[in-house]
Structure 1
Amino acid sequence: MRAGKFIFFTFFCIFGSSLADESTDAFTGDLLRAVFSQSNVQQNTVLSPVSLYDVTALLQQGSGGNSLEELTKVLHADAPTTRKRYADLIRSIKADHSETQLEFANKVYIENGFPIQESFRSVAVQDFQAGIENIEFKQAQQAADDINDWVSENTHGRIKDLVKSDSLTPDTAMVLLNAVFFAGNWTYQFEPYGTVDSSFTTLDRQTKSVSMMHLSETLMAGEIEELNAKFVRLPFRGDEFSMIIVVPNDVDGLSDLIDKLQEDHLASILASAERRNVDLSLPKFKFSTTSKLVPTLQKLGLNDIFTDASNLTGIASSPPLYVSDVTQKADIEVDERGATAAAATSVTGAGSGLPLNVLYIEANHPFMFFIVNDIDFLPIFSGWVGNP
């Protein structure tokens, strides 16, 4: 019997919840290190760890045997735990937010007539709040158009053409999708008149002129001796979300910074934050990233689901299923008013006190960023800027 295949994509969109725990934190560190080690020639990268985690956790619900063991290891949590956490997360995300726009959507496209297990359908609909729709993958161009329309609609037009028709074949049985959209403006906006042309040293040690923004404000910030870096929290209006900028002290310190995240996760880094007078220089930047994540997930230890050894019988008992593609497409824009970003992933088949001395943070060389919620620092977006 011919095996069926499915693909999962994640996409995430942000302009300008509460789930952070050791498992999500560890997954983020693992993901960033794996992607950087495989694609460090890229100038810039933006990823949505929570989007990829969500879709992979949904896949975990239908896995068994060694496939389940691998997924549990990669996600740092078992299936009942990830199911409960993401059910709580989705409810939190869909709640009203005072001054930000946050949307979260899951979708499962299933080949017409393909029999999926009712238990998986129930988990997808009730816990992951996924819409389920039948589709004719044999009509590849129409199916790709329908999927891309859903992606575009759920990212407010930020992500287009995520799925190519040639990635859909007569063997395609299912496509899993996640979309997150966030829009927010800075609490403390950079004054446009303070933006000036300045120099930035790129990953390949070239110097270029960039539009450098400037902000002098009392913010949560700090220095991390173990990481040889400085960081600052830039809050969005509404006091629910922030962008964390982490700048290595050394011009070529990005690689060491990412490597050390294994020992110093985001929550523990931010626990050292103090209210400081900060003088920040930050370049405006805008870029997009398309990440093919099968090699990345294999590097993290996820192998069976991409081969004939795949055990996804909790999704469908027959024909056998395997994952053929995992793709995330994202873009981000940061300017004086706020941050704007978008990403898509698919699978087919804190402190208070008096201000201290001024902390100067000059992001004039490669640095990292995170977009998090302010309760538990759930990493919604993360990445690095090497060439703004």
Structure 2
Amino acid sequence: MSSRQRGNFNYKLAFKLFSSFFFLSAIMDVLAEANGIFALNLLKTLGKDNSKNVFFSPMSMSCALAMVYMGAKGNTAAQMAQVLSFNKSGGGGDIHQGFQSLLTEVNKTGTQYLLRMANRLFGEKSCDFLSSFRDSCQKFYQAEMEELDFISAVEKSRKHINTWVAEKTEGKIAELLSPGSVDPLTRLVLVNAVYFKGNWNEQFDKENTEERLFKVSKNEEKPVQMMFKQSTFKKTYIGEIFTQILVLPYVGKELNMIIMLPDETTDLRTVEKELTYEKFVEWTRLDMMDEEEVEVSLPRFKLEESYDMESVLCSLGMTDAFELGKADFSGMSQTDLSLSKVVHKSFVEVNEEGTEAAAATAAIMMMRCARFFPRFCADHPFLFFIQHSKTNGILFCGRFSSP
């Protein structure tokens, strides 16, 4: 090969690599937007009862439903694309390639946080699932399409699913499917479970944690273990909704917790009502936030939430998938199929833990001369989001309303 040919070859290779990177970057942006819109729609739907805590993983749910979408056709596919906001990208194979890259990035090993996302489809063994669909689940979603005997071994199938989920979530989610949740008419079960635990980039000192009152409402207060930290954080104030926004990075700064805390005179429902994906992006831009020394008070909490998603997804417009006779999953199987169950369970624990190095830095900061610091006191209901920095994907959404 001549030097000119080598030059052309290198140029073509570089162009191909650049084009591939640009394409994946563009589809990841589209996916982040689709996931974000879906996340906020779910937050508003799951959180209609303002007094309840909410916690779920929109990314895990969107990812698992995308597997089902891969086998959907016609109106079933159109409804799913609408609810999941996949129609923004044209809803084609690009979506699945995007999820392939996203899962590789999010589930990578060697991180300084613990994240377990378990997605799997369980199908009735008498239904003949297409090999092309099985292969695509494995290729794009690192997930298997597993056949079970729902007709004659219901309880065994239920326990098998629960055991699989428990193994994938460090034992934190042990009983995903309750007795009676599947029956001999079950044909297809979509399961997604999430377990997350991350250490703060700078820890809260356990010695500073003390019992304080959390204002659940104007008329109700409950005791919480309130953590305290004085350090430099990114924060901003959105006058439009009278709300402070604080960014708490996890160790390694690959993930952040974003907390939206309205003023005490502002109802959290007002914030939720005004929140759109466009505003979320605008309000949480790190380069537009101030970095300042802040006194942060945050309750220590643990949430474990479980949702039967059928009614929620139907209310958002995804109705055909659950109705035999209307559901079209001909890209999955030639048997008439409908989605029998979508169950989502999630677990989060927020406490003082951090790294020793960060604790040393914090100790030095605490030795500065005493002066006034802005306060961020989360002693009343707030929203929180856990975001993956590199992809801008919202991994988790939550509302802490009551201890």
1:70/1:48 CA distance change after superposition, 3 Å: same
Secondary structure of 1:309's aligned partner: coil
Unaligned residue ranges in structure 1 (runs of 5+):
1-17, 339-356
Moved over 6 A (4+): none
Following TM superposition, by how much is the alpha carbon of 1:132 offset from its aligned partner in structure 2, in angstroms? 3.0
Give the 5 Å matches for 1:61-210.
61-77=70-86, 78-137=91-150, 138-203=152-217, 205-210=219-224
Secondary structure of 1:108's aligned partner: strand
What does residue 278 of structure 1 align with? 294
Secondary structure of 1:227's aligned partner: coil
Distance 2:345 2:394 in 1: 17
Following TM superposition, by how much is the alpha carbon of 1:264 offset from its aligned partner in structure 2, in angstroms? 4.5
Following TM superposition, by how much is the alpha carbon of 1:252 offset from its aligned partner in structure 2, in angstroms? 5.0
Candidates 332, 338, 348, aligned match of 1:315: 332
Distance 1:41 1:207 in 2: 13
User: CA offsets, 1:97-129, max 9 Å, x none?
Assistant: 342233434322232232012221121111111
Rg (Cα) greater in structure: 2
Secondary structure of 2:260's aligned partner: strand
User: CA offsets, 1:282-333, max 9 Å, x none?
Assistant: 1111232222222211221111112231111111122x11123222122222
User: Percent of aligned pairs with the same residue?
Assistant: 28
User: CA offsets, 1:133-190, max 9 Å, x none?
Assistant: 3222121111111110000000000001111342222222222333444332111111
Q: Is the 8 A contact 1:148 1:160 kept in 2?
A: yes
Q: Is the 8 A contact 1:213 1:336 kept in 2?
A: yes
Q: Is the 8 A contact 1:267 1:377 kept in 2?
A: no
Higher RCO (CA 8 Å, separation ≥ 6 residues): 1
Distance 1:376 1:135 in 2: 35
Candidates 393, 396, 401, aligned match of 1:378: 393
Distance 1:286 1:21 in 2: 27
Secondary structure of 2:117's aligned partner: strand
Following TM superposition, by how much is the alpha carbon of 1:227 offset from its aligned partner in structure 2, in angstroms? 2.7
The letter for the 1-side match of 2:352 is E
Q: Does 1:299 align with 2:315?
A: yes
The size of the alignment, in residue pairs, is 350
Q: Is the 8 A contact 2:307 2:343 kept in 1?
A: yes
User: CA offsets, 1:25-83, max 9 Å, x none?
Assistant: 1111111111112x3342x1111111111111111111111111111111111142321
1:114/1:263 CA distance change after superposition, 3 Å: closer
Q: Is the 8 A contact 1:51 1:180 kept in 2?
A: yes
Q: Is the 8 A contact 2:234 2:289 kept in 1?
A: yes
Secondary structure of 2:272's aligned partner: helix
Following TM superposition, by how much is the alpha carbon of 1:210 offset from its aligned partner in structure 2, in angstroms? 1.6
Following TM superposition, by how much is the alpha carbon of 1:89 offset from its aligned partner in structure 2, in angstroms? 1.1
Candidates 23, 30, 45, aligned match of 2:41: 30
Distance 1:129 1:90 in 2: 8
Candidates 377, 386, 389, aligned match of 1:362: 377
Distance 1:297 1:314 in 2: 21
Higher mean C-alpha displacement, 241-250 vs 251-260: 251-260
User: CA offsets, 1:244-275, max 9 Å, x none?
Assistant: 11101135521111111126543322113221
Distance 2:322 2:279 in 1: 29
Candidates 281, 285, 300, aligned match of 1:267: 281
Q: Is the 8 A contact 1:48 1:382 kept in 2?
A: yes
Following TM superposition, by how much is the alpha carbon of 1:96 offset from its aligned partner in structure 2, in angstroms? 2.6
Distance 1:311 1:111 in 2: 17
The letter for the 2-side match of 1:91 is T
Tell me the C-alpha RMSD between the 2 structures: 2.0
The letter for the 1-side match of 2:268 is L
The letter for the 1-side match of 2:113 is T
Unaligned residue ranges in structure 2 (runs of 5+):
1-27, 355-371
TM normalised by structure 2 equals: 0.82
